[in-house]
Amino acid sequence: MSTYRVAQVAAASGPFEIVERELPQPGPGHVRVAVDACGVCHSDSFFVDAGLPGVRFPVVPGHEIAGRIEVLGEYTQEKGWQVGDRVAVGWFGGSCGHCTPCRQGDFMVCDNLKVPGWAYDGGFADAVVVPADALARIPDSLSATDAGPMACAGVTTFEGLRRSSALPGDLVAVLGLGGLGHLAVKYAVAMGFETVAIARGAEKADLAKQLGAHHYVDSTAGTAVADALLSLGGAKVVMATASNSDAIAATVDGLSHRGELVVVGVDTEPLAISPAQLILRGRVVRGHPAGTAQAVQDTMAFSALHGIRPTIEVVPLSQTGEAYQKMMAGGARFRMVITPH
């Protein structure tokens, strides 16, 4: 009997433990992927802490997966997949194909979205079985440890920016310089936006410059963030990657006319935004989910073309618990990535 290892949590908010299980075989429309790397995302806490409905324990999180197809289920070869293909799987882990959003072609907001770690075991493991429609091809020039974070942190910021109302030359601000924010700044610069990085502390100015930002706003410096943005002409788009509703709301008055606040950072507290702030200047607030498998593939291709890579810290599967705790404590710079060895 062949076995593989998973890093699982046996009960809500419990510790990670390494467990051996019988190696699963993929069913029709699925493949088994040998995991080469898996990023650790703050959203994994939704599953570890049972913060979303339907989480079943023991749970194996991990939705920034990069690896190689090692076994094909029925009907997958006809879709162009072969054993050995390098693939990534993100928050979009497959769709149902029959709900109204899917029938409208909007698979990312499928009513029954199959998120790894929620709908099925995630990538904190040696292997994972996933639906074939979740697969994105990894470019040859992108390593597995770089590709994994692209499947969630990367695609969320890349897709959020390219679907925004900003055009090359427009002022675009990125709130937060963490796992998502450091990539958002790089993408914004590569897309031709005049890029503003917003974070806490004067010491982040050097980091913002290294990432390519044209301007840095220290939100603790005494000048309101909105005023700082207005002094630069007003932001056409603010991408809020920080998980802090107060910090997100503080950017709204810094938007230009018809400006757009794109929220990707998750906080359970409501946003304190008044109707007048939106109506008088025609501003828009929208939430943005991650991106489909095709969007993940586009993100990786763009990243390879422009030399964009996440800043990562790699640890073995045996240290999954330590990596998760470091991420939760805000100590990751900027993405913890787990590998089998």
Assign 317 a pLDDT band (cuts: 50, 70, 90): very high
Res 211: pLDDT: 98
Assign 173 a pLDDT band (cuts: 50, 70, 90): very high
Assign 76 a pLDDT band (cuts: 50, 70, 90): very high
Q: Looking at residues 292-319, what average pLDDT do you find?
A: 98
Dihedral sign, Cα of residue 26, residue 29, residue 34, residue 38? negative
Q: Which residues contact 268 (CB under 8 A, 6 or more apart)?
A: none
Assign 239 a pLDDT band (cuts: 50, 70, 90): very high
Tokens standing for residue 61: 């999180």
String of DSSP letters for 138-199: PPTTS-HHHHHHIIIIIHHHHHHHHTSS--TTSEEEEE--STTHHHHHHHHHHTT-EEEEEE
| 272 pLDDT above the threshold of 80 | yes
Residue with the two structure tokens 């199959």: 114
Strands 3-9 and 16-22: antiparallel
CA dist., res. 150 & res. 169, Å (int):
25
CA dist., res. 87 & res. 33, Å (int):
8
CA dist., res. 86 & res. 144, Å (int):
8
Q: Which residues contact 75 (CB under 8 A, 6 or more apart)?
A: 28, 29, 132
Q: Looking at residues 172-179, what average pLDDT do you find?
A: 98
| pLDDT tens profile 131-155 | 999 999 999 999 999 999 999 999 9
| In contact, 163 and 316? CB cutoff 8 Å | no
CA dist., res. 300 & res. 340, Å (int):
22
| 51 pLDDT above the threshold of 80 | yes
Res 186: pLDDT: 98
CA dist., res. 135 & res. 276, Å (int):
43
Q: Which residues contact 257 (CB under 8 A, 6 or more apart)?
A: 234, 281, 282, 283
Q: What are the phi and psi torsion angles at 281 (to 5°)?
A: -110, 10
Assign 1 a pLDDT band (cuts: 50, 70, 90): low
CA dist., res. 224 & res. 145, Å (int):
38
| pLDDT tens profile 193-230 | 999 999 999 999 999 999 999 999 999 999 999 999 99
